[in-house]
Amino acid sequence: MLRIAVPNKGSLSEPAAAMLREAGYRQRRDPRELVLADPDNDVEFFFLRPRDVAVYVGAGTVDVGITGRDLMIDSGADAVEHLPLGFARSTFRFAAPVGTTEDLAGIAGRRVATSYPVLVGGYLREHGVQPSAVVRLDGAVESSVRLGVADVIADVVETGTTLRAAGMEVFGEPLLRSEAVLIRRADHDAPAGLEVLTRRLQGVLTAREYVLMDYDCPVDLVEQAVAITPGLESPTVSPLHDSSWAAVRAMVPRSRTNQVMDSLYDLGARAILVTSIHACRL
């Protein structure tokens, strides 16, 4: 039975459960449940703090887990990324009160507050910058400068709203681009059952990323039309009762749906229909 660690709280918890549910797994109804067996799918879920997921995976007491790339690196655990999951996307950045710090070198001899001390310490060492201290805080790091325990911060930034509200701005390059990832133990064979889990999650990712597009097209325009919708391998082209027309079906990136429909219509395609993919195995 594959043992899977899942975040029990925070911004990873809900989307992780939604993804697993979409992949056909049971998920808990009561947020106080700590363990959930799913014998039909031969897996068992352990609901753990997101920060701890990599620790358990690295120790081998669970087989795989869902966590953030930033959290995995900060844990220092013996775990590796197996599959990026496309949600909880963020950047990890240095920031300081507006107009006070220009670049990485400006951190030398100053105090950096963060909830990710291992990640930040490692990055600064790699770049040869020595702060006077790395101050570890649990959260609300943006308040640390105003409250006098640090001079700059390093934290998760998504929209930048929290930083702006605190009168801060980012500086330097992002330390990291993070997202939710499926992780497994480093230097060990893939556990039994991981292949099925991976294929199922990949199915969800594809179903989220693509739509199915069907359209009718004059036969002499098919070549130009399939150049617009090449699909993943090759689009399906079927004859229609009216032999001067063909029906085409192809997968199209969801984000480009409307541009592709406009181009097809301009070319002369008609009856363009878009359908969501409910599930798939490629």
Ligand X SMILES: Nc1ncnc2c1ncn2[C@@H]1O[C@H](COP(=O)(O)OP(=O)(O)OP(=O)(O)O)[C@@H](O)[C@H]1O
Ligand Y SMILES: O=P(O)(O)OC[C@H]1O[C@H](OP(=O)(O)OP(=O)(O)O)[C@H](O)[C@@H]1O
Chain residues that interact with ligand Y, rule: CB under 6 A: 139-142, 155-162
Q: Tell me the site size for ligand X, rule CB under 6 A.
A: 15
Nearer residue to ligand X within complex by CB, 88 or 252: 88
Q: How far is the CB of 133 from ligand Y (least distance, A)?
A: 20
Instruction: Please tell me whether residue 229 binds ligand X under the rule CB under 6 A.
Output: no
**Contact partners, residue 252, CB within 8 Å, separation at least 6:** 210, 211, 212, 213, 229, 231, 260, 274
Task: Note whether 263 and 272 are within 8 A (CB).
Answer: no
Rounded Cα–Cα distance for residues 65 and 52 (Å): 10
Q: Which of 181, 185, 180, 183 is nearest to 61 (CA)?
A: 185
- Contact region with ligand X (CB under 6 A), list: 7-15, 145-153, 163-171, 212-220: 7-15
Q: How far is the CB of 3 from Mg ion (least distance, A)?
A: 26
Backbone angle region of 166, left / alpha / beta, with phi > 0 → left and psi within -120 to 50 → alpha:
alpha
**Largest CA-CA distance found in the chain, in angstroms, rounded:** 77
Nearer residue to ligand X within complex by CB, 117 or 231: 117
Q: How far is the CB of 143 from Mg ion (least distance, A)?
A: 13
Site string for ligand X, 39-78 (x = CB under 6 A): -----------xx----------------x-xx-------
Burial of 253 (0-12, 13-18, 19+ CB in 10 A): exposed
Q: How far is the CB of 221 from ligand Y (least distance, A)?
A: 45
- Contact region with ligand X (CB under 6 A), list: 9-17, 103-111, 121-129, 224-232: 9-17
Site string for ligand X, 92-131 (x = CB under 6 A): ----------------------------------------
Alpha-carbon distance values, 2 to 15, 34, 37, 233 (Å): 20, 16, 10, 32
Beta strand 79-84 with 35-38 is unpaired
Tell me which residue has tokens 């992002």.
Answer: 174
Contact positions vs Mg ion (CB under 5 A):
139
Question: Which positions from 170 through 199 interact with ligand X, judged by CB under 6 A?
Answer: 178
Q: Residue with CB nearest ligand Y?
A: 139
Instruction: Please tell me whether residue 139 binds ligand X under the rule CB under 6 A.
Output: yes
From the list ligand X, Mg ion, ligand Y, none, pick the one residue 88 interacts with, judged by a Cβ distance below 5 to 8 Å according to partner type: ligand X
Instruction: Please tell me whether residue 136 binds ligand X under the rule CB under 6 A.
Output: no
Phi and psi, residue 173, nearest 5°: -75, 155
Nearer residue to ligand Y within complex by CB, 95 or 264: 95
Rounded Cα–Cα distance for residues 113 and 206 (Å): 38
Tokens of residue 205, six digits: 């990712």
Nearer residue to ligand X within complex by CB, 11 or 263: 11
> Which residues of this chain interact with ligand X, rule CB under 6 A?
9-12, 50-51, 68, 70-71, 88, 90, 139, 156, 158, 178
